[in-house]
Amino acid sequence: MNKYRSLYNTTLSLISNLLLVMGCFILCRIVFLAENYNAFTELTGGRLWKMFGGGFMFDTSAILYTNLLYIFLMLLPLHYKEKGIYQKITKGIFVATNLIAIIANLVDTVYFQYTHRRTTASIVSEFKNEDNLGGIFGTELLNHWYLTVLVVLFAYALYKLYRKPPVAKIYNFPLYYLTHVLTLGIGIYLCIGGMRGGFTGMVRPITISNANQYVDRPIETGIVLNTPFSIYRTIGKTPFAVPEYFDREKLEALYTPVHLPADTVQFRPLNVVVFILESFGKENSGFLNEELDNGTYKGFTPFLDSLMAEGLTFKYSFSNGMKSIDGMPSVLSGIPMFIEPFFLTPASLNTISSVGGELKKKGYYTAFFHGADNGSMGFEAFARTVGYTNYFGRTEYNEANPGNKDFDGHWGIWDEKFFQFFADKLSTFQQPFATALFSLSSHHPFAVPTEYEGAFPKGNVAIRQCIGYTDHALKLFFDKVSKEPWFDNTLFVFTADHTNSPERPEYQTECGLFSVPVVFYQHGSNLKGYVKDAIAQQIDIMPTVLSHLGYDAPYISFGCDLLTTSPEDTYAVNYINGVYQFFKGDYLLQFDGKRATGVFAFKTDKLLEHNLLGQLSQQSAMEDELKAIIQQYMTRMNGDGLVVTK
C-alpha cells in the first residue's frame, strides 16, 4: 500500500486540514453566539440546529474561498509538490490565510454588538476616513482579552494539528500524473459547487441574503453567516453611497417613501393573491397593444387580457428591475433595484416589510409559492424575511404529490400543475390570507409539456408558446378558484418580474425593456376601468393593495397609491447600466447620478429617438424629484430605514 501513497497522500492531507478549519469555524460560531446571546430571543434547540445547519453551507463556501490557493497547490499535478520545502510553503499559506479568516470571525463577535449584522466589504469605505481605529481596536482587545487568547489557541491548533503529507517516493510517473490530473478535476468541480452553495444550474451562488431562510428574525442571520463569507460575497458590490443633493428639510418636502393612512380609513379584511409571472412582458398582451398591426394584434395572453378588461390596468406600466431577483422586492416590498440587485447587497439584511408583512400584523395567514427547488433564487429567504410565514416550493409539492412526474427537467414544477396545487392550498387556508406566487415555466429553454406541443401560438420568438401555456394555466386556476366561497372576497394582482425576448423595436428601448403589465382584479368590485394615460410600476403594488383594503398603519414603500394619486402625479423609476430612469407625465428623464443625460417624450417618441435635454420646463422639477428618491433610497438602505419605527 505504501508503494502507492504518492497517489493519494496530499489529497488526504488536504481533506483533513479543511475539516480542521471547519471545526474552527464551528467553534467561532459558538463563541459568537455566547458573546451575543442577549441579542437574540427564544433560541430553542430546534431553531439553533437549523441555524447551525444553514451555517455549514456558508462556512463551506467561505473555507473554499479562503483556501483556493492552498487547495490548488495541494492538488497541482506536479511531482515537485512531494518535496519537503514545497509542503512547508503550503503549510505556511494554510495557517496564515485561515488564521486571518478566524480573526475576522472573532473581531465580528464584538463588532456585531454595534452593527447587528455581519461585517461586509463595505467596511473599507465605511472607515476609510477614520484615524482613530488603532486606539479603538486596542481598547477592545483589552476589554475582550479572552478573544485574543482564543486567537492564539486557534493559531496553535492550525499549526500543530495540521496534517503534513509524508514524503512519498513515486514509482510510476504516468500513473501519478493521471491520478493527480483526475483529482484536480474533481477538486475543481467540488470547489465550484461548494462556493456556489449547490451544484445544479437552478441554484444561484448563495449570498448573504440566503441566510434569512434559516431564521425567524433578520438579526439572527448573524448566527448563520460568517464574516469571511460576508466580505467575499460583497467585494465588488458597490456600497450605496448617499448623495447630498438636498438638506433633510428639503428632501422630506420633495419626496418621502413613508405612507401615512388617512384618518377616515376603515380596514376591510380582503384576501390578497399576488401573481408574479415570469417574463410576462407587456409585449405579450393584446389588450395593452391594441394599436399594433393596425388593430389586429392578438397577443399571447387571452385569459390575462380578459381579466384586464374587467379589472384595473394601466397603459404605461413598468418593472423596477431587469431580473427575477429584482422583481420580488419591487412587487412585494416596494423596493426598486438601484445599482445592484437588492438580494445581493448588504441592505438585504435590513428589517423589511411587504404586503404580507403588513397584513400579518392584522392577523392574516401569509404564504409564498414558487415551484422551483426550495431556496432557489433566494426567494424563500426573502419571503421569510418580509413576513410570509410559510413557503411552498417543489419540496412541498412533491410531499403532496408523491411519485409525480411534473418536474419540467430544468427549473421546477410545470405551471399548470403548480397553479392547481396553489388553488387547492388556498382553499385550506384560514381567512383572511395574503399569498404570492412566482411562476416559472415561461423561462429558457422555453419548453411546454408534451401534451401541449403546438397548442399555443409560437410567434417569432421561442418564449411565446410558454407565455401562452402559463396564461392557460392561469385560466385553469381561475376556473377552479372562482367556485370557492372566498373568491369574491379576494383581490388578485398580476404583474411580471421583468421582460424577456423583446421583438418589436419599441419594446427594445430603455422604455420598452421595462414595460410589464400591472393589473388589479376583484370580482364584482369597483376596480374597473382602463386608465389610459396613467403611469404605474411594480413598487406601486404594495401601497395600492393596502389602500384598497383601507390599511390603517404607516409603512414604507418607494411607490405610490394608484387609487388616490392623480394620473399626472404617478411615476416610475428604474436603473439600467449606470443610468437612473424617471417616468412622469409625458416624459422620461435619464440621469447618471450627477446630471441629466436625456429627456424623451416616451408616449409619442416610442423609439426614444429625439432627446429633448434642456428643452423642457418640466426637466428641473423631474430632476429634483428623482434626486430626492435616490437620496431617500440610499439613506434608508445604509441606515436600515425600510420600516416605520415608533
What is the rounded distance in angstroms from the CA atom of residue 102 to the CA atom of residue 438?
39
Contacts of 129 (CB under 8 A, 6+ apart): none
Tell me how crowded residue 53 is: count the other CB atoms within 10 A of its CB: 11
What is the rounded distance in angstroms from the CA atom of residue 433 to the CA atom of residue 487?
12
Element (H, E) at 575: strand 571-576
Contacts of 78 (CB under 8 A, 6+ apart): none
Q: Per the annotation, does 497 bind a ligand?
A: yes
Contacts of 526 (CB under 8 A, 6+ apart): none
> Of 285, 317, 324, 439, which residue is the catalytic one?
324
Q: What is the DSSP string of 4-46?
A: GGGGTHHHHHHHHHHHHHHHHHHHHHHHHHHHTGGG-----HH
What is the rounded distance in angstroms from the CA atom of residue 127 to the CA atom of residue 131?
9
Is 317 noted as a catalytic residue in this protein? Answer: no
In three-state secondary structure terms, 408 is: coil
In three-state secondary structure terms, 567 is: helix
Cβ atoms of 289 and 344 within 8 Å: the answer is: no
Contacts of 585 (CB under 8 A, 6+ apart): 568, 618
| Angle between helices 302-310 and 463-481 in degrees, nearest 10 | 50
Locate 361 and state its grid cell.
Answer: 400584523
Pairing of strands 579-584, 571-576: antiparallel
Asked whether the bond before 432 is cis by omega within 30 degrees of 0, the reply is yes
What is the rounded distance in angstroms from the CA atom of residue 412 to the CA atom of residue 116?
36
Query: Hey, what amino acid is at 609?
Result: E
Total residues belonging to the chain: 646
The strand ranges marked E within 386-477 are 390-392, 433-438
Cβ atoms of 264 and 248 within 8 Å: the answer is: no
Tell me how crowded residue 554 is: count the other CB atoms within 10 A of its CB: 14
Integer angstrom CA distances of residue 410 from 202, 369, 406, 441 = 7, 18, 11, 9
Closest CA to 590 of 615, 570, 612, 567: 612
Cβ atoms of 630 and 624 within 8 Å: the answer is: no
What dihedral angle (degrees, nearest 10) is formed by the CA atoms of 377, 380, 384, 386? 30
Closest CA to 386 of 359, 410, 417: 359
What is the rounded distance in angstroms from the CA atom of residue 320 to the CA atom of residue 335?
8
Closest CA to 625 of 579, 586, 578, 584: 584
Residue with cell 418593472: 319
Tell me how crowded residue 524 is: count the other CB atoms within 10 A of its CB: 10
Residue with cell 458573546: 35
What is the rounded distance in angstroms from the CA atom of residue 288 to the CA atom of residue 313?
9
Q: Per the annotation, does 278 bind a ligand?
A: yes
In three-state secondary structure terms, 612 is: coil
Cα-to-chain-centroid distance, residue 498: 14
Query: Which residues sit in the known binding site for Mn(2+)?
Result: 278, 497-498
Residues forming the active site: 324
Query: Which residues sit in the known binding site?
Result: 278, 443, 497-498
Query: Which residues sit in the known binding site for substrate?
Result: 443
